[in-house]
Structure 1
């Protein structure tokens, strides 16, 4: 068998659901909604490339990296949750809008878009699980690689054309979206921290 179709479909659907491309639109627009179309496209492209790099790195050597550093999935969830909480507070208070544009370009591509929104603890954990399922089979590794590329292409297209939403909501809508995105990010952050605590308790039991 040259290509594991079952693993490809399973990994594509799972990672798409976890990364939630459409759910990231409010956060993306709240961060880059007032910029030019070129800047928005650049942020979308860089963020997706950062995510692809992180996910690929963990697919290749995720278990070895975590084992060497002595880090578990609960620790990743806790760190990601705290990071998202800080970003959520910036969005809710409006402090994030005062940063210089050059600095924002870097921050948006790396944090929070590339990681932990796209390449978050859930996506990393799922990728490691799928690598285990591949069980050393070339056909399965090819399927997983194709799935990772497919998911990131979907994410890029969704963010790339999210500018269509800006034409409808205008500047006042962007402000509202920023507040909603901050609230949603805060909820996601609390959920990640809760899952992290649960993971530590379960692991210690």
Structure 2
């Protein structure tokens, strides 16, 4: 039991560092800037649920799928970093679409899938972490269940943080939200570049950056 508890705590700490519920709040706020409070709660709930499904599915089958397709984890990391970089650039430059032509429900669900579920929550780093934490060659089914439990705990904390986004947005105002979106976009772009360079460094056996 102690080993299971230690594994659970270790997994929670690891996933908390990767998913960073508090750090992702500005990204969530910017993505849902065109929604009202009810729509924002809907987008938060379904975004977290969609991300949970993607992370668990990829954690279980991602490594086998990539191997079957002849794609290495480094190639996946580079591709994910490029996609994340493009999303970050749209945040910095203010390319923020609110899907005004859709109904309220469709708009919230669309934003819940992209960009909240992917790439904000289930981004390249999170997907790679789940592959490593649920490695079928190293961990038993019970240990994988513990990992899923740790993921549930972290995503529950993230959902609670997102649901407070409306209150925080009212405090800092629209100008503060726009500023946070651009600052977080710049940080996200740097993170994406770092992911790509780290993959190339491992591939070419260069010193870490």
TM range (shorter): 0.7 to 0.9
Match of residue 59 from structure 2: 59
Q: Distance in 2 between matches of 1:156 and 1:17?
A: 16
Pairwise CA RMSD of aligned residues? 2.5
Q: TM-score, normalised by structure 2?
A: 0.85
Match of residue 118 from structure 1: 121
Q: Distance in 2 between matches of 1:105 and 1:80?
A: 24
How big is the shift at 1:57? 0.5
Provide structure 1 residue ranges, at least 5 long, that are not aligned to the other structure.
none
Point out which structure has higher relative CO (alpha carbons under 8 A, 6+ apart).
Answer: 1
Change beyond 3 A, Cα 1:78–1:105: farther
CA contact (8 A) 1:43 1:105 kept: yes
Q: TM-score, normalised by structure 1?
A: 0.86
State the aligned residue count. Answer: 203
Of Structure 1 and Structure 2, which has the larger fraction of its residues in helix?
Answer: 1
Change beyond 3 A, Cα 1:70–1:137: same
Change beyond 3 A, Cα 1:122–1:92: closer
Q: Distance in 2 between matches of 1:151 and 1:11?
A: 10
Q: Deviations over 1:136-170 (max 9, x none)?
A: 53442331221121121111111121222111111
Q: Which of 173, 176, 185 is the matching residue for 1:173?
A: 176
How big is the shift at 1:34? 4.0
